[in-house]
Amino acid sequence: MAQEVPFVPALDAANLDPERGTKYEFPRDLRGYGRHPPDPQWPGGAKVAVSFVINYEEGAERTVLNGDDRSEEILSELIYKRQGERNLGTESDYEYGSRVGVWRLLNLFESFNVPITAYAIGQALEMNPDVVKALKDGGHEIASHGYRWIDYHHMPAEVEKQYIVRQLEVFKKLTGEFPGGWYIGRQSTRTKALIWEVYKEHGLPLLWESDSYCDDLPYWIDVPAEKDVEKPEGMLMLPYSFDNNDLKFHSGSGAFTPDAFFQYLKASLDTLLAEAESGSPKMMSIGLHCRIIGKPG
């Protein structure tokens, strides 16, 4: 068998991005705010804005029951791969999140009068409308996490756009309003541009988008589709976090114990507070999942 020769780009190789020059190409910004970030002027003069996020995905993950070609393989206690058939173990682990975990988390936060942001999957809410009522009754923010908890990377743009439109319809029906903010997670290279486009076509305000992990403060980006617009609006990015995230319980290099996870969160907050005391207020996003941190331990 012939040995496969690895691809090695030449020095100063040309840009091979297939989206280059299209409405989907969001250029990278490696400079950001630099050493002198702006003061976001948090309400009440707060030094750090802490955002607790509960991802509600249960029931909308990959499964042949939802028309997928495989069962879910990520963010579960079980990692068995099932092509073309159900993985009852993974399904059951996800069901823990909707049956038990979400209620444990909401009870906890509400006992301290702390509102959270729910990154909610539309199909998951359809399957458990009690969660919608609980989020609204508890005064929590319900943001969009897409209509399905699947990977959009290889999805044709026109199909992904249909998923975004479906999410708007479902949100309006279930919550009485359209979501102001979005976080997809398993985004394609076209996701941000398509969300912006759908909101423009429907005349809706898109307040923020969170598919970013590159800063400790919100920031604005230019939208490629607005390059010839006289007064571009841009898009406000509200960075999310993979490190301050309970997904570490399912990572080989992550935190296995609650104490280790807490110590990492505390260290993050301590650092941000110290920087804020020097005149640089920050933001901290903490990502939680009903079927992970919602377990008893």
Please report, for the domain that includes residue 165, its CATH number: 3.20.20.370
pTM of structure: 0.94
| Residue 218 domain-assigned (yes or no) | yes
| Residue 165 domain-assigned (yes or no) | yes
Averaged pLDDT for residues 92-101: 98
Q: Is the pLDDT of residue 250 over 90?
A: no
Q: Is the pLDDT of residue 193 over 70?
A: yes
| Residue 110 domain-assigned (yes or no) | no
| Residue 247 domain-assigned (yes or no) | yes
Q: Read off φ and ψ for residue 187, nearest 5 degrees.
A: -80, 160
Q: Is the pLDDT of residue 221 over 70?
A: yes
Q: Tokens representing 9?
A: 């780009």
Q: Is the pLDDT of residue 62 over 90?
A: yes
Q: Tokens representing 99?
A: 């049956």
| Residue 83 domain-assigned (yes or no) | no
| Residue 74 domain-assigned (yes or no) | no
Q: Is the pLDDT of residue 254 over 90?
A: no
| Residue 205 domain-assigned (yes or no) | yes
Q: Tokens representing 275?
A: 């920087």
Q: How many domains does the chain have?
A: 1
Averaged pLDDT for residues 175-188: 97
Amino acid at 63: T
Q: Is the pLDDT of residue 70 over 90?
A: yes
pLDDT band at 2 (very low <50, low <70, confident <90, very high): low
| Residue 38 domain-assigned (yes or no) | no
Residues of the chain with pLDDT > 90, as a percent, come to 91
What is the rounded average pLDDT for all residues in the chain? 95
Q: Is the pLDDT of residue 253 over 70?
A: no
Domain residue limits at 182: 47-57+115-222+230-289
